[in-house]
């Protein structure tokens, strides 16, 4: 009898050990820690209701996330506010960065994890360089990826396009918007009207002056003039930046331009400023004009070059204006030789590197900073990437929620050019958005050390030619030196 009780006792201990060991193995295999993270997002241009459904749908799929808060910040003070908040360890988890900010604010950014815990409890490859190449235009990889690490992802990418007044082109006998700068010159010359006193009564195009900046509005200023000038430089063949030497070199002569009297940047600057030169056959602009946006809306300028955000402003201020949008003109010869180039200007969403993790009562939070980063990137991927990439890292839901595509809904409802290649393909039939969306595929940029400071330097280049009649070669050389001083700061 004693022997029987002993066997039962040892059997009970053995079974208990098996249960405990099984639970231990189960826990090690799944490695799903018990925590919950609240996320705070800072944005600039979208109201909070834009993300209401996205947040609701995401919370159905991820029990590790608690409250997700979106704050629309002030554009004027955003960069300073962001810098101060992150310095205290109390900033946002996810926030917008300009596409040129990666280098400037790299110490504040946490790149996407190479691996993330999947819904099955196993580590799997997360956002890879291949997935960025497959899903986004080339400019995104060049701007937001460094050393194969992804530092931000965009919901929308914007590039320059040509706005044109259909009625004014028709009246001038121009059957279609210009595709090249030679056609652009011809159209400007046909449309522009100057009275006997030298006053421009109708401008063929808003070109030739410096930017319409908040501190210097009106007076014939051209909105995004410095971006247009940069586009012309790139199309002419200028190499804006040497990544290996971390040096601006747009004033230099590329190897292909050896033997030429003028550098590509010099040719671009002279081309741009000729539209405000009284002695040019393409003279179409002066300081007596309204700023470029107002002039186009009023019908006193037939063409202007800008981004997609101008569409709703035109529709709001001039609902009866008969306008169209076309791809930005290209620097091609009569036979069509040359490569197509556009210029990108956009924002991406990034994740903060560190944050003081506390609860509402000030006590340490259950989640760690590493877990916060993982959940921030999980949400950011859900927001911007395709469902195939993110599905393995989210919980199961109804088929309706599983089919929900946040980036597609954002592009459609906000009427913005898409950042993802598959969505760009769908926007090809949109008469107003397709020039921007397709422009994204050929768009370029360069690593500006400080986008606002560079804008002022490029504005000075234009003003030096237009207002002070200085030599273009000297002006460009001075601008390059100024940019390189910014880089060394």
CATH number of the domain to which 60 belongs: 3.40.190.10
Asked if 203 contacts 289 with a C-beta cutoff of 8 angstroms, the reply is yes
Residue 362's pLDDT is 62
Confidence (pLDDT) at 21 = 41
List of residues 6+ apart from 266 with CB closer than 8 A? 251, 472, 473, 476
Task: Mark whether 140 and 233 lie in a shared domain.
Answer: no
| DSSP-derived secondary structure for 448-473 | -SSHHHHHHHHHHHHHHHHTT---HH
Q: How far apart are CA 446 and CA 15, in angstroms?
A: 66
Position 27 in a domain: no
> Among residues 424, 457, 476, which one ends one of the domains?
424
Provide the pairing of β-strand 161-165 with 193-194.
unpaired
Q: Which pLDDT score, from 0 to 100, does residue 391 have?
A: 84
**Confidence (pLDDT) at 33:** 60
Whether residue 174 sits in one domain with residue 105:
no
User: Count of domains in the chain?
Assistant: 2
Do 385 and 336 share a structural domain?
A: no
Q: How far apart are the first and last CA of the chain?
A: 88
CB 242 within 8 A of CB 249: yes
Encoded tokens for 10: 């040892």
Residue 19 to residues 12, 25, 225, 253, 432, Cα–Cα distance (Å): 11, 10, 71, 75, 64
Regions of the chain where pLDDT drops below 70:
1-33, 214-215, 258-259, 334-336, 359-365
Question: How many angstroms separate the Cα of 47 from the Cα of each of 50, 71, 72, 97, 342?
Answer: 6, 8, 6, 17, 29
Give yes or no: residues 387 and 453 share one domain: no
Alpha-carbon gap, residue 315 to 305, rounded angstroms: 16
Residues 330 and 200 in one domain: yes
Q: Is residue 438 part of a domain?
A: no
136 and 190 fall within a common domain:
no
β-strands 149-150, 247-248: how paired? unpaired
CB 181 within 8 A of CB 327: no
Predicted confidence at residue 19, as pLDDT, reads: 41
Give, in order, the Cα–Cα distances in Å from 390 to each of 76, 124, 409.
34, 11, 17
225 alpha carbon, distance to own chain's centre: 18
So what's the pLDDT on residue 208?
Answer: 97
260-283 burial string, b = 16+ CB within 10 Å, else e? eebbbbbbbbbbbbbbbbeebebb
Instruction: Tell me if 204 sits within 8 A of 188, measured CB to CB.
Output: yes
- Do 200 and 126 have their domain in common? no
Domain hosting 464: range is 161-342+448-488
Helix, strand, coil shares, percent, the chain, to 5 = 45, 15, 40
Residues 178 and 324 in one domain: yes
Angstrom distance (rounded) from CA 277 to CA 107: 45
Confidence (pLDDT) at 121: 82
β-strands 241-242, 247-248 pairing: antiparallel
Structure tokens, 432: 């107003």
What is the Cα–Cα distance from 306 to 223, expressed in whole angstroms?
7
Q: Are residues 225 and 336 in the same domain?
A: yes
d(CA 445, CA 314): 26
3 state DSSP class of 10: helix
Looking at the structure, tell me whether residues 208 and 66 fall in a common domain. Answer: no
**Same domain membership, residue 180 and residue 95:** no
CA distance 406 to 59: 13
Q: List residues bridging with 202 in a β-sheet.
A: 193
What is the per-residue pLDDT for 425? 95
Q: Which residue has the tokens 């946002």?
A: 92
In this structure, the answer to whether residues 191 and 329 fall within a common structural domain is yes
């009569």: which residue's tokens?
A: 334
CA distance 77 to 3: 82
């Amino acid at each position: 009898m004693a022997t029987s009780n002993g066997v039962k006792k040892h059997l009970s201990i053995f079974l208990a050990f098996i249960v405990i060991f099984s639970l231990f193995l189960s826990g090690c295999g799944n490695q799903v820690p018990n925590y919950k993270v609240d996320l705070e997002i800072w944005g600039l241009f979208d109201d909070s209701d834009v993300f209401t459904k996205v947040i609701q749908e995401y919370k159905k799929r991820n029990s590790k996330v608690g409250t997700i808060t979106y704050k629309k910040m002030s554009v004027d003070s955003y960069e300073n506010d962001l810098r101060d908040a992150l310095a205290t360890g109390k900033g946002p988890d996810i926030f917008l960065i300009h596409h040129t900010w990666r280098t400037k604010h790299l110490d504040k950014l946490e790149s996407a994890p190479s691996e993330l815990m999947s819904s099955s409890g196993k580590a799997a490859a997360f956002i890879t360089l291949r997935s960025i190449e497959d899903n986004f235009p080339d400019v995104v990889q060049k701007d937001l990826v460094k050393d194969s690490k992804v530092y931000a992802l965009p919901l929308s990418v914007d590039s320059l396009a040509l706005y044109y007044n259909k009625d004014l082109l028709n009246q001038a006998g121009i059957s279609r918007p210009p595709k090249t700068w030679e056609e652009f010159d011809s159209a400007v010359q046909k449309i522009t009207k100057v009275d006997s006193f030298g006053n421009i009564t109708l401008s063929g195009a808003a070109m030739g002056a410096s930017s319409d900046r908040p501190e210097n509005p009106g007076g014939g200023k051209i909105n995004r003039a410095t971006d247009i000038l940069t586009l012309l430089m790139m199309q002419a063949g200028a190499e804006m930046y040497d990544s290996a030497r971390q040096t601006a070199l747009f004033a230099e002569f590329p190897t292909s331009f050896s033997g030429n009297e003028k550098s590509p940047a010099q040719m671009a600057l002279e081309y741009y400023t000729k539209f405000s030169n009284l002695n040019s056959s393409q003279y179409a602009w002066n300081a007596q004009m309204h700023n470029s946006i107002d002039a186009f809306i009023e019908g006193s300028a037939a063409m202007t070059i800008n981004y997609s955000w101008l569409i709703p402003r035109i529709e709001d201020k001039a609902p009866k204006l008969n306008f169209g949008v076309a791809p930005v003109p290209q620097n091609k010869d009569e036979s069509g030789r040359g490569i197509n180039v556009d210029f990108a200007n956009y924002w991406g969403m990034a994740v903060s590197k560190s944050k003081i993790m506390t609860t509402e009562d000030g006590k340490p939070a259950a989640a760690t900073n590493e877990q916060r980063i993982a959940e921030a990137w999980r949400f950011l991927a859900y927001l911007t990437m395709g469902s195939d990439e993110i599905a393995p890292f989210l919980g199961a839901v109804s088929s309706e929620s599983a089919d929900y595509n946040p980036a597609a809904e954002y592009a459609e409802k906000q009427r913005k050019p898409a950042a993802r290649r598959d969505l760009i393909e769908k926007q090809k039939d949109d008469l107003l958005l397709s020039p921007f969306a397709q422009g994204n595929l050929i768009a370029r940029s360069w690593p500006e050390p400080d986008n606002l400071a560079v804008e002022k330097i490029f504005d000075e280049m234009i003003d030096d030619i237009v207002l002070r009649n200085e030599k273009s070669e000297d002006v460009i050389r001075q601008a390059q030196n100024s940019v390189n001083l910014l880089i060394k700061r």
